[in-house]
């Protein structure tokens, strides 16, 4: 996963000593960090670029972790966003397995856990996020250890652990009916487990899709044998000998479980930024050019919240957002104008259902469904007046591609 | 071990040559090696259409065949041609040989 062992050149592993000096230090080796390095080079940036990550791996794709990887369809080295040779080709240094623990943007100095000092001109924070922790009684044993069988899903190591557990899990409870929870639930059903999804809100994927789509997915999961409990809170975790045995519901109900997956959202990783004095509020605050409150620092990806000139703050947790913000961040470092805004899009694969959405939906949009929900293939169009604002498709990839192109060209006419 | 040549569709220059193993997709090999024109934003789940390449018909024997959903995605892609493929769906089925794909300029 870390590339060729002992290879010299682009990748430095934890343990080496000495101060490093770089033009741009990118802290966080995920989708945004990897893209930012590439975009800097594509934009003609000539100074050294150093990408530092806390995981032992080169930047890899996270979306498959809750989809193909769980099903055993993908091996870890296939998850890499770019191989070692790709970083060598663009002359980007990657330092894995050594988290940056402090940064001083004024002085242009960072320090890592292994005690390295890194001197930089520009700093890019692409720190991602961590799963929101579940805080109910019974998560921890009397001796202070997390009860076995309770899992989160964010990193490759999380996914590895889950994949092992899933092999012999009989009764799976998924806490949270968002994308991660539902994608995992689908994988667990396919693996033959009994699955119950417990969602506190009144519908599935409530932050991302309109009610009609939540309804459709509720039916689709139930038809495939998953039980879904909406509007249901938790009151605790039950365990025996340090292993989970069940989940207690707020209404007094009880679900047996030998595997619990918690997918109740993401907490933007802001600690490093806050300690460095950057403005943060539910994420590192950036503008549309990925600039932060410090002139030397840009930020991109899941760790950010965008304060726009024309609306309320927004957070998009998606690959596409990480990529686009990274491109804007690179342009800002280069002193170039921001690239053209791309219509936001995301996808989710659950069972054989491919959900794709593009655009900027609003609460007051008129919705129109085309196609047949019973056939599990349809298109939902959002409009304001006669203008299409967003399009969501299920198992209609051609319509999605066309919608993305149309929305993009319309956006270009406004630019 | 087979190998694959990536050509720039605009200039006909060779971008790079890389090893490709049976069951590898052309997209994976491209991103591992750092072929810039193949973005592969969705990582090969056929959700985005950013790994579009051109492959001559005689190349197709080396790879798994196109299915209908790939055609659906391709139909709306800019600069789509009869020999367009999504490189994430081009899974090598032969253990030996030399493949060639042409990479369109990034949109």
Q: What's the rounded Cα separation, in Å, for the pair A154 and B84?
A: 35
CA–CA min distance B74, chain A (Å):
8
Please name the residue that has the structure tokens 């939906």: A361
Question: What angle separates helix A211-223 from helix A179-190, to the nearest 10 degrees?
Answer: 20
Spatial contact of A281 and A274, defined as CB atoms under 8 Å apart? no
| Strand duo A387-394 + A377-384: pairing | antiparallel
Q: Where are the beta strands (DSSP E) in A263-344?
A: 266-268, 284-286, 297-299, 304-306
Separation between Cα atoms, residue A337 and residue A317, nearest integer Å: 24
B43 vs A85: CB contact, 8 Å cut-off? no
Tens digit of each residue's pLDDT, chain A (415 residues): 443 333 335 666 655 556 899 999 999 999 999 999 999 999 999 999 999 999 999 999 999 999 888 888 777 788 999 999 999 999 999 999 999 999 999 999 999 999 999 999 999 999 999 999 999 999 998 888 889 999 999 999 999 999 999 999 999 999 999 999 999 999 999 999 999 999 999 999 999 999 999 999 999 999 999 999 999 999 999 999 999 999 999 999 999 999 999 999 999 999 999 999 999 999 999 999 999 999 999 999 999 999 988 888 999 999 999 999 999 999 999 999 989 888 999 999 999 999 999 999 988 999 999 998 999 999 999 999 999 999 999 999 999 999 999 998 887 777 5
Q: By the CB < 8 Å criterion, does B80 face chain A?
A: no
Residue pair B28/A77 in contact (Cβ under 8 Å)? The answer is no
User: How far is A85 from chain B, CA to nearest CA, in Å?
Assistant: 6
Chain A touched by B92 (CB under 8 Å):
no
> How far is residue A187's CA from residue A184's CA, in Å, rounded to a whole number?
5
* Nearest by Cα to B105 from B78, B66, B81, B71: B78
Closest CA to A26 of A107, A96, A113: A96
Q: Which long-range contacts (CB under 8 A, 24 or more apart) does A306-315 make?
A: A313/A281, A313/A282, A313/A285, A315/A268, A315/A282, A315/A283
Q: Work out how many CB contacts closer than 8 A connect A with B.
A: 68
B47 min Cα distance to partner chain A (Å): 7
Helix (H, G, I), strand (E, B) or coil at A86: helix
| CA atoms of A288 and A286, how far apart (whole Å) | 7
The sign of the CA dihedral A50, A54, A55, A60 is negative
B47 neighbourhood in chain A, CB within 8 Å: 347, 349, 354, 356, 397
CA–CA separation, B17 and B13 (whole Å): 12
pTM: 0.93
CA distance A355 to A303: 24
Residues of A with CB under 8 A from a CB of B: 38, 42, 61, 63-64, 67-68, 78-83, 85-87, 89-90, 319-320, 323, 345, 347, 349, 354, 356, 397-398, 401-402, 405
B99 phi/psi in degrees, rounded to 5: -110, 155
Residue A304 · residue A290 · CB < 8 Å: yes
């Amino acid at each position: 996963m870390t590339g060729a062992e002992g290879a010299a050149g682009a990748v430095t592993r934890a343990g080496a000593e000495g101060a490093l000096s770089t033009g741009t230090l990118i802290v966080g080796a995920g989708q945004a960090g990897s893209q930012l390095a590439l975009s800097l080079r594509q934009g003609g940036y000539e100074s050294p670029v150093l990408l530092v990550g806390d995981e032992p791996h080169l930047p890899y794709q996270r979306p498959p972790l809750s989809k193909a990887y769980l099903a055993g369809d993908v091996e870890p080295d296939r998850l890499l966003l770019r191989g070692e040779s790709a970083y060598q080709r663009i002359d980007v240094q990657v330092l894995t397995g050594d988290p940056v623990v402090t940064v001083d943007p004024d002085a242009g100095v960072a320090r890592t856990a292994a005690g390295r000092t890194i001197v930089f001109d520009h700093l890019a924070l692409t720190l991602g996020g961590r799963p929101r922790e579940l805080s109910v009684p019974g998560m921890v044993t009397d001796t202070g250890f997390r009860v076995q069988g309770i899992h989160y899903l964010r990193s490759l190591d999380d996914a590895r652990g889950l994949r092992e557990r899933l092999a012999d899990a009989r009764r799976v409870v998924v806490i949270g009916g968002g994308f991660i929870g539902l994608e995992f639930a689908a994988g667990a059903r396919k693996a033959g487990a009994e699955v119950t999804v417990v969602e506190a809100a009144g519908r599935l994927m409530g932050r991302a899709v309109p009610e009609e789509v939540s309804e459709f997915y509720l039916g689709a999961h139930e038809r495939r044998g998953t039980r879904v409990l909406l509007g249901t809170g938790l009151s605790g975790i039950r365990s025996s000998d340090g292993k989970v045995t069940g989940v207690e519901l707020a209404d007094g109900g009880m679900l047996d479980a030998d595997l619990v997956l918690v997918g109740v959202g993401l907490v933007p990783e802001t600690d490093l930024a806050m300690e460095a004095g950057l403005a943060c509020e539910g994420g590192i605050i950036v503008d549309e050019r990925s600039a932060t409150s410090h002139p030397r620092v840009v930020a991109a990806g899941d760790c950010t919240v965008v304060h726009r000139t024309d609306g309320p703050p927004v957070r998009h947790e998606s690959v596409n957002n990480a990529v686009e913000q990274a491109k804007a961040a690179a342009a800002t470092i280069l002193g170039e104008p921001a690239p053209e805004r791309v219509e936001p899009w995301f996808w989710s694969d659950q069972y054989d259902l491919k959900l794709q959405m593009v655009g900027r939906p609003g609460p007051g949009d008129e919705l129109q469904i085309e196609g047949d929900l019973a056939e599990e293939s349809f298109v939902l169009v959002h409009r304001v007046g006669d203008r299409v604002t967003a399009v969501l498709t299920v198992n209609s990839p051609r319509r999605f591609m066309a919608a993305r192109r149309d929305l993009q060209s319309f956006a270009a006419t406004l630019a | 071990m087979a190998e694959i040549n990536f050509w720039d569709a605009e200039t006909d220059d060779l971008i790079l040559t890389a090893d490709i193993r049976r069951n590898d997709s052309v997209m994976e090999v491209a991103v591992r090696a750092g072929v810039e024109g193949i973005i592969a934003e969705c990582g090969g789940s056929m959700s985005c259409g950013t790994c579009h390449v051109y492959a001559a018909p005689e190349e197709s024997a080396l790879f798994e065949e196109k299915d209908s959903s790939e055609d659906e995605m391709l139909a709306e892609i800019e600069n789509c041609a009869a020999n367009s493929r999504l490189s994430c769906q081009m899974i090598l089925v032969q253990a030996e040989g030399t493949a060639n794909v042409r990479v369109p300029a990034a949109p």
